[in-house]
Amino acid sequence: MKSLIKVILILGFVSGSSFILVQVTGLITIDRIDFWFNEIRSFPPYYIGGVVLALMLIDLFISIPTLATIMLAGFFMGTLLGAAFTIIGLTIAGCCGYMLGRRYGEVILKFLLKNDTEREEFKASFEEHGFFTILLSRALPVLPEVSTCIAGMTKMPFSKFLTAWLISITPYSLIAAYAGASSSPRSPEPAIIAWALLTSSLWVGWYIFKRAKKSC
């Protein structure tokens, strides 16, 4: 388990650093995303949908405010379209992360974990905990993207990965898009409540998962 945590922390640090860099430079901020959506709101919905797809894919490499983006998608396109484009984008991004991990994972692992025993422990730990790690990954920033890559690294069966990923992103996207569609600049309460509920629910899920593992 220690080797799994070590890899997650290292990859998470790299991804988290990109988020800080992006926010400091102002490259992709919530205000900028809001501005982009406002600029094309009079166009057919698939224009905004295309931006959402692009942002979800970019998030795999450069961490962006995903939850806020989904809420904005819901605000500008409505619940169903906002959630649909988000789910498609996150699915594409997740599959790309899985494929990249599967293709380059062994090289990365040998760089991060020098010892063969550590690498085997890492793979065994993710094989045991991987499904629930992906399922609850949205409780922590950058963990979703990291978990997709690790799933590929450890050769998790694609069907198992995709099942966990879809279970994770579908309700998350629907709730966030609905909150965005129900909100407005003058009435942001639904978005705030949804953010609090999503975050707290995922954290409770992590707590229950850890307690269950300790009692085994």
Share of the chain above pLDDT 90, in %: 29
Exposure pattern of 90-106 as b/e (b: 16+ CB <10 Å)? Answer: bbebbbbbbebbbeebe
Check residues 17 and 212 and name the one with the higher pLDDT.
Answer: 17
Rg (CA), the chain: 18
CA dihedral 67, 68, 71, 75 (to 10 degrees): -170
CA–CA distance, 122 with 11 (Å, rounded to integer): 14
Residue 13's pLDDT is 74
CA neighbours closer than 13 Å in the CB half-sphere of residue 120: 3
Q: Indicate the pTM of the whole model.
A: 0.83
For 9-55, how does the pLDDT look when each residue is reduced to its tens digit (9 = 90+)?
777 777 777 777 776 777 777 888 888 888 888 888 889 999 999 99
Q: Where are the alpha helices (DSSP H) in 78-216?
A: 79-112, 116-135, 143-153, 158-181, 189-215
Alpha carbon 90 to chain centroid distance? 7
CA–CA distance, 138 with 37 (Å, rounded to integer): 24
Helix (H, G, I), strand (E, B) or coil at 142: coil
